[in-house]
């Protein structure tokens, strides 16, 4: 057997990785995520009510037939605001995860593949970022950029770069010392060819699984920023902002914070369960 054949035989193909069987919990998580994505893309499929315009005399109505989840302090249908808020919350989370995934993976790949002083410099910078609480770092970046949905997504994405970089670097270092990579080098493979064909594809699986987990964390972070008043401005129906707007009416209109909070928790738990499936962890 040649060195090239040996490298191909020893390389762990993505299809052979251990994947958990589908369970009722996973099906439920997929269903929740599918509904959230459909609400973000096609909100008119779920409701015809306006998320912005209120109805005179319908302020703070309890959940009932005409308004499934009740109305808010301005007479706006809460179900419609939650449905339309999915596009703002999910799109911002996707932007944040994309920034962290691309920038963090690139840094981790460079550090793990090159090694030496480059690895030391990159990882020291990563350690400094990891020493700062993610919320504090997001707030600092957001104050520099200015408030708004897009800037909040950029801030959360920048705060997640360090965690992606550390994971990617660890995977690259582990794979770089594998037998099939050594065989690929021994067969005359060049650095960038081996990096692209062997190291990067096998290092991406745990990184992508972590991206699914980070998606849920990004929704929480964005909701927190909006709750504190640093994210999406009113009257945009963002989930964190909905919770913030209802906190002054907890005693008389509990549904204003309960239902948006339940939606946030459900989507975050669904993202975590899907991430567990992708990583092949234990149930």
Do the beta carbons of residue 271 and residue 33 sit within 8 Å?
A: yes
User: How many angstroms separate the CA atoms of 107 and 126, rounded?
Assistant: 9
The predicted pLDDT at position 102 comes to: 94
The predicted pLDDT at position 283 comes to: 39
User: How many angstroms separate the CA atoms of 205 and 191, rounded?
Assistant: 21
The predicted pLDDT at position 17 comes to: 47
User: How many angstroms separate the CA atoms of 266 and 162, rounded?
Assistant: 27
pTM above 0.85, yes or no: no
User: How many angstroms separate the CA atoms of 130 and 115, rounded?
Assistant: 20
User: How many angstroms separate the CA atoms of 205 and 31, rounded?
Assistant: 23
**pLDDT tens track of the chain, all 283 residues?**
444 444 444 455 443 444 456 688 889 999 999 999 999 999 999 999 989 988 888 899 999 888 889 999 999 999 999 999 999 999 999 999 999 999 999 999 888 888 888 888 999 999 999 999 998 999 999 989 888 889 999 999 999 999 999 999 888 888 776 666 666 656 666 666 666 666 777 778 889 889 999 999 999 999 999 998 888 888 889 999 999 999 889 888 999 999 999 999 999 999 999 988 887 654 3
As a dihedral over the C-alpha atoms of residue 24, residue 28, residue 29, residue 30, rounded to 10 degrees, the angle is 100
Do the beta carbons of residue 118 and residue 178 sit within 8 Å?
A: no
User: How many angstroms separate the CA atoms of 178 and 11, rounded?
Assistant: 9
Do the beta carbons of residue 204 and residue 247 sit within 8 Å?
A: no
User: How many angstroms separate the CA atoms of 119 and 109, rounded?
Assistant: 10
End-to-end CA distance of the chain: 40
The predicted pLDDT at position 183 comes to: 66
What's phi and psi for 280, nearest 5 deg?
75, 25
Three-class secondary structure of residue 195 per DSSP: helix
Residues 6 or more apart from 27 whose CB is under 8 A from it?
none
Do the beta carbons of residue 73 and residue 251 sit within 8 Å?
A: no
Do the beta carbons of residue 274 and residue 212 sit within 8 Å?
A: yes
User: How many angstroms separate the CA atoms of 226 and 237, rounded?
Assistant: 11
The predicted pLDDT at position 191 comes to: 61
CA 94, chain centre distance (Å): 6
Q: Which domains does the chain have, with CATH numbers?
A: 72-280 (1.10.3720.10)
């Amino acid at each position: 057997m040649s060195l090239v054949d040996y490298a191909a035989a020893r390389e762990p193909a993505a299809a052979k990785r251990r994947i958990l069987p589908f369970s009722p919990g996973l099906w439920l998580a997929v269903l929740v995520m599918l509904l959230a994505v459909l609400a973000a893309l096609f909100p008119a499929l779920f409701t015809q009510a306006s998320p912005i315009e209120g109805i005179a005399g319908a302020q703070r109505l309890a959940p009932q037939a005409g308004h499934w989840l009740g109305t808010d302090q301005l007479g706006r249908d809460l179900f419609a605001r939650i449905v339309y808020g999915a596009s703002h919350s999910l799109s911002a989370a996707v932007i944040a995860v994309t920034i962290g995934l691309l920038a963090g993976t690139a840094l981790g790949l460079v550090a793990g593949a090159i090694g030496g002083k480059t690895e030391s410099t990159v990882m020291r910078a990563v350690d400094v970022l990891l020493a700062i609480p993610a919320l504090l770092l997001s707030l600092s970046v957001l104050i520099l950029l200015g408030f708004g949905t897009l800037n909040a997504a950029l801030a959360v994405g920048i705060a997640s770069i360090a965690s992606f970089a550390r994971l990617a670097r660890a995977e690259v270092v582990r794979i770089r010392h594998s037998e099939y990579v050594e065989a690929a080098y021994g067969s005359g493979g060049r650095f960038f060819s081996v990096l692209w064909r062997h190291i990067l594809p096998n290092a991406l699986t745990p990184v992508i699984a972590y991206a699914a987990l980070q998606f849920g964390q990004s929704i929480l972070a964005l909701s927190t920023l909006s709750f504190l008043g640093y994210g999406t401005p009113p009257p945009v129906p963002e989930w964190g902002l909905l919770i913030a707007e209802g906190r002054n009416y907890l005693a008389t209109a509990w549904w204003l914070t309960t239902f948006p909070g339940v939606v946030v928790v459900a989507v975050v738990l669904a993202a975590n369960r899907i991430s567990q499936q992708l990583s092949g962890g234990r149930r």
